Amino acid sequence: MAIETTTDNAVKAAPTPGPSQRSALPWLIARRALTGLVTLWCVSVIVFVATQAMPGDVAHIILGPSASAEQVAQLNQNLGLDQPLLSQYWNWLSSVLTGDMGDSLVSGQPVSELLAERIFNSATLTAIAMVLILPLSLLVGLLAAVFRDRLLDRSYLGTSLIVTATPDFVIGSLVIALFGTVVFKVLPPVSLIPPGDVPWEHPRQLVMPLAVMVLVGVTYLSRLVRVSFIDVLESEYVQLAIIKGLPMRRILFRHALPNALAPSIPAASIMAAFTIAGSVVIEYLFAYPGIGSALVDAVAGHDLPMIQAIIMLMAVAFFCFNQLADVLGTLNKSR
């Protein structure tokens, strides 16, 4: 009991922020949110200009090579593509802000209706991946820190270095070759989900894309957890507890774990943002019906409203998770 009191007092002895720091916290969060919104607006400008600069005439692509000049001009007028670029951007942005993402140039259906099911599929895949990534990263990082510089830690660091240096597309291709086509053939090589079905009704189709996402995510996040645990294990109060003979399990889970998790939580939010961004490659590779594969199809079909909507949705998701990471990081520093 005396040892626990000593270690607890050592933790409480850390300097705490004053009232002025706490009062400035909302302003700091608001300033970062404003900066993020400005960044998001800049992204909207870049997305719009980049899609407009894509090679090829939309009207010619829709009507085909046999269309006359009058038909092309009429379709451009109907689509508003004959207006000045600034007017087109303003009309598009004002519609997006009201929730209207326009109509697909390929199917003519509202983009929001076409993306609703795909957004759900992508969100499901990302959520399941994060549910697996977080505890596995904690476990791997903890074991690597406890067995620091031993065979387990060195093997982990070497493996994580290889995984980090390998593109997701290559890792996914190896997984398909190993488990879907060439070697074992125990899983379907593509992750096709029938329209109207929810992804978890087809668990075998989710295994390989989830395996790639979890492998990449755990490799990144567990290294941060390892560093946090090493810093905590080398702190004075943990060393004092070890010298006094406190059980290692109690040291790890009672004192080291809460302090090591604090800097890892913002990193987990950033990891979720990168998981969403990386889903484009994974979904296309495994033919998973999410927004990533929809983006590739839209680019191939020169469907500008679809491209703009998907990229902006991903940018908003990335922005929200980054803001969450900033807030959690700020709160952690203010403790």
40, part of any domain: no
Q: Is residue 121 part of a domain?
A: yes
Report if residue 309 sits inside a domain. Answer: yes
Specify burial of residue 248 (Cβ count, 10 A radius: 0-12, 13-18, 19+): exposed
Query: How many CB atoms are located within 10 Å of the residue 29 CB?
Result: 15
Mean pLDDT of all residues in 74-86: 78
What digits encode the pLDDT tens for the residues 243-291?
877 777 777 777 777 777 777 777 777 788 778 777 888 888 898 998 8
Percent of the chain with pLDDT over 70: 89
Whether 44 maps to a domain, the answer reads no
Is 270 a member of any domain?
A: yes
* pLDDT tier, 8 (very low <50, low <70, confident <90, very high otherwise): very low
Mean predicted confidence (pLDDT) in 159-174: 89
Summary mean pLDDT of the chain? 81
Q: How confident is the model at residue 215 (pLDDT cuts 50, 70, 90)?
A: very high
pTM > 0.75: yes
**130-134, 178-182, 309-313, 330-334: the lowest-pLDDT one:** 330-334
The pLDDT of 112-131, averaged and rounded, is 90
Judged against a pLDDT cut of 50, whether residue 229 lies above it is answered with yes
Total domain count, the chain: 1
Question: Quick check: 6 pLDDT over 60?
Answer: no
Compute and round to an integer the Cα radius of gyration of the chain.
25
Q: If you average pLDDT over residues 5-34, what whole number do you get?
A: 56
Q: What is the mean pLDDT of residues 53-74?
A: 73
Residue 83 forms part of a structural domain: no
For residue 256, what are the domain limits? 2-14+104-333
Is the separation of the CB atoms in 255 and 11 below 8 Å?
Answer: yes
The whole-number pLDDT of residue 197 equals 85
Tell whether 134 is covered by a domain: yes
Mean pLDDT to the nearest integer, 193-209: 88
Q: Cα separation of 334 and 113, whole Å?
A: 43
> For residue 195, how many other CB atoms are within 10 A of its CB?
7
In angstroms, rounded to a whole number, what is the distance separating the alpha carbons of residues 32 and 290?
Answer: 30
Residue 293 has pLDDT above 70, yes or no: yes
317 pLDDT above the threshold of 80: yes
Task: Read off the pLDDT of each residue in 102-118 and give the average, rounded to a whole number.
Answer: 86
What CATH number does the domain containing 313 carry? Answer: 1.10.3720.10
Q: Regarding predicted confidence, which is higher, 245 or 191? A: 191
pLDDT band at 128 (very low <50, low <70, confident <90, very high): very high
Residue 100 zone, left/alpha/beta (φ > 0; ψ -120 to 50; rest): beta
**What integer pLDDT is reported at residue 209 of this predicted model?**
92
Strand partners, 110: 103
Task: Examine residue 99 and state whether it is found in any structural domain, yes or no.
Answer: no
Amino acid at 303: D
- For 275, the token pair is 């998981």
Distance spanning both ends of the chain, measured CA to CA: 26
